[in-house]
Chain A
Amino acid sequence: EVQLVESGGGLVQPGGSLRLSCAASGFTFSNYIMHWVRQAPGKGLEYVSVILREGGGTLHADSVKDRFTTSRDNSKDTLYLQMGSLRLEDTAVYYCAREGGSSGLAPFFDFWGQGTRVTVSS
């Protein structure tokens, strides 16, 4: 059974840092492109970042570029989101999601975690 379990959320002050983790199981993690998506309170889903399979090339949304870093450890089946220079508007539930195919182009998200809540507040 595919499982994605996020952790690391919490309360952090503006300007602070936090690292989120997403532990994967039930599939060959290294074969899949992985993503982060967030949802601010009362808002819709917002795309955050993508990391490719082996080699780990990344892309980030403009709203988090140069502040957030996405990485993965395929030996630990874990995805990370290092969040820095946090702002009030980064307050959200953060989801990790698996891209749909183990090869080729399948740019949709077939499995999601339950999310971890990040609150940026003084």
Chain B
Amino acid sequence: DIQMTQSPSTLSASVGDRVTITCRASQSINNWLAWYQHNPGEAPKLLIYKASSLESGVPSRFSGSGSGTEFTLTISSLQPDDFATYYCQQYHSYSYTFGQGTKLEIK
């Protein structure tokens, strides 16, 4: 099975900051990489799919990049609603895996 290593596990930042979260796959996943935002008690929300495609309705300050085994989620200017936990998710050969999550906290 493909393992996903997400870093950092916790990130402290301020409103207006630019932040980057990284996800590494144990083997190439052909860009089948998605990013989700999750707040406690709520349904996870799809942000990015196929590594860099922005889901409809998601603010343009969110962007995804990468290919092969290394991928990043960037938030260009943090807003108060962005403090949440973020997960990457891969697909390869009928196998789906989530990263361990990154909790984005207010500094």
| A contacts, CB < 8 Å to B | 35, 37, 44-47, 50, 59, 62, 95, 97, 100, 106-110, 112-115
Contacts and interface: CB of A to CB of B under 8 A. Distances in A.
Classify the interface of chain B: helix, strand, loop or mixed.
strand
Contacts, number: 58
25 contacts: A37-B44, A37-B98, A44-B98, A45-B38, A45-B89, A45-B98, A47-B89, A47-B96, A47-B98, A50-B94, A59-B95, A62-B1, A97-B44, A100-B46, A106-B49, A107-B32, A107-B91, A107-B96, A108-B50, A109-B89, A110-B49, A110-B55, A112-B43, A112-B45, A114-B42
8 A-B pairs closest in CB distance: A107-B91, A108-B34, A112-B43, A44-B101, A108-B49, A45-B98, A47-B96, A110-B46
A100 B49 contact: yes
Interface string B1-26: 10000000000000000000000000
B98 A109 contact: no
Interface string B40-63: 001111100110000100000000
